[in-house]
Amino acid sequence: MEPMSLEDLALLEVLQRIDQHVVLTDNDNAMRQRMIDGALIEEGEYGLSLTAAGIELCKSLQHRLAADQQAAKITQQREDDAAGQQGTQVPQSHEEGVTAID
């Protein structure tokens, strides 16, 4: 599975900021307009708010991010375990009867 794209991460960040009523920056204007056009957010009496579709997308992106983080953690644990097993293996001599001397 491919990790989340930077665009999806940016979208999640903006959706969360809107949900928390954090003021958007000028850099967010293009994304803000696309989200209004896509019916993910709406302008209301109290500023921007998420629509039902925006809430569902936000939840979906949060679950995806959590799954990616969990997958990365499992992959790292497996790599660490494999590295640990390689480090504990006793090298065997290629010649019979030869013993290692400390």
Cα 2 to Cα 31, 46, 59, 66: the distances in Å are 23, 38, 19, 13
pLDDT reported for residue 46: 87
Q: Which residue has the higher pLDDT, 31 or 37?
A: 37
| Whether residue 4 has pLDDT greater than 50 | yes
Give residue 3's pLDDT band: very low, low, confident or very high (50, 70, 90).
confident
Mean pLDDT (the chain) is 85
| Whether residue 1 has pLDDT greater than 70 | no
Strand intervals (E) in the chain: 41-44, 47-50
| Whether residue 100 has pLDDT greater than 70 | no
pLDDT reported for residue 91: 56
